[in-house]
Structure 1
């Protein structure tokens, strides 16, 4: 389980972007880095800095996955056929907490991590409490019956803040989603620009 010690929106402030597209993001009011000299920091990043920033943003987007785990996902992507950056995104989107978030069962990816950990999610009828569990095409992910009246779930499903992507088939009344296929990078609805190619460059140095 990833340890989220700092306030999640600090990632937004550090990056100067609203990476989840949330109305509560402080970047909506203060689009510059934190600190006394935040507004004056406009130095050009080196190639390494640009790659590091892309890695931090993508890693942070998925609930700030631990570095060791994120690096292992990258190495797994390199062993698969095809474009490594596409494989990396595919592996990240197959995480159970990511699918729960995409299906709008919860409002944030951090809530998805906790929701899965607490045993509120079933995969193909069986309880799975591991956020990094890797979903397969055709897997049915649903909210456990006892958890379907939770205000968190009801509010998230009714929210117009984001849409369910095409690679997830959702039945909101049954609170059931089917992971139909592994998406390509272009299909993933990121609120901010992600650059997985730079993440690949960072790790392949």
Structure 2
């Protein structure tokens, strides 16, 4: 059986982050990954998420997602970098029509307050798993206001993972920080539902 995922995120031609980095992870997990590009970055400004080379309009992003859904329906979706409120809302509205598909979202870029609020109000309520860098732990309280009660929050640092859901269950594991959201998405696509199975 072939398992499909959809990765909605930015393009980084260095393969250090974004869709290209994810492709390596999905290949290792034996999952066929489909993509929708939300922004283009150049390695020369890799750490500067304030200045992408190009941000497509929300219609272009949705056109990509619709094209993916015109073929085999993805078994799981990951939402990474999305840089506009309009695109976040459009993505949420589209994916809300597929409530059985698990959704992973991650806060891997340093969001300004406005973008963080848009993310909380649009994408978080439909997410099954939320990946949060440990340096953004101060925002956990705000995140918990917007996620559904069955969602799992994964707090990550470069050396360990800590899972915090509404039952305060925690796990830890050493792993490449940037692969965690992709590994969870691939595992969900393959039908794994428990955190222990994924790692």
Answer whether TM exceeds 0.5 for this pair. no
**TM-score (ref. length: structure 1):** 0.26
**TM-score (ref. length: structure 2):** 0.27
More strand as a share of residues: 2
